[in-house]
Amino acid sequence: MNTEAFDTLLNRLGTDLSVWPQGAAEEAKKLLLRSQSARGSYDALRGLETMIEASRPAVLPAQMRRVVQGALAEIARREANPTLLERFLRLLLAPTARAALAVGVTVAGFGLGMALRNPTPAAPAYANGGVLMMTASADDVLF
């Protein structure tokens, strides 16, 4: 076993070599004895696992059911009473709402364009009080 294969198995299976496949665990033990790099990887992951274990809240086995039920109740309460921002984002990110927003913006842009009254091709370029106006079709803009 090389250090790359060891690191891959270490990242997938953790530092408890008893849960590794038998042959891989034996080779990993041999590699740990002869490779400083493998020991460094093992020690670093072991340190992370120790910190994660230390950060977990201590719950007595008798209280475990009550704690889990309380957490599930809190999740249900939060989902049942979303904030105004969460409601708005849910509405805004819904596919129908996005399509309606796109159509609304398109209609508003078209209406604004009609209200500004672009000059017709027959009108001279300076017909609008001496201000040069240019027109472009969607084909000119997109392609």
Mean pLDDT (the chain) is 81
Query: Structure pTM?
Result: 0.43
- Quote the longest CA-to-CA distance of the chain: 90
Model confidence pLDDT, tens digit, residues 40-83:
999 999 999 999 888 887 778 888 888 889 989 988 888 788 88
Q: How far apart are CA 84 and CA 10, in angstroms?
A: 45
Among 4, 34, 5, which Cα is nearest to 20's? 5
Contact of 1 with 41, CB cutoff 8 Å: no
Residue 140's pLDDT band (boundaries 50, 70, 90)? low
Q: How far apart are CA 22 and CA 136, in angstroms?
A: 72
Q: Which residues contact 101 (CB under 8 A, 6 or more apart)?
A: 92
Mean pLDDT over 25-31 rounds to: 92
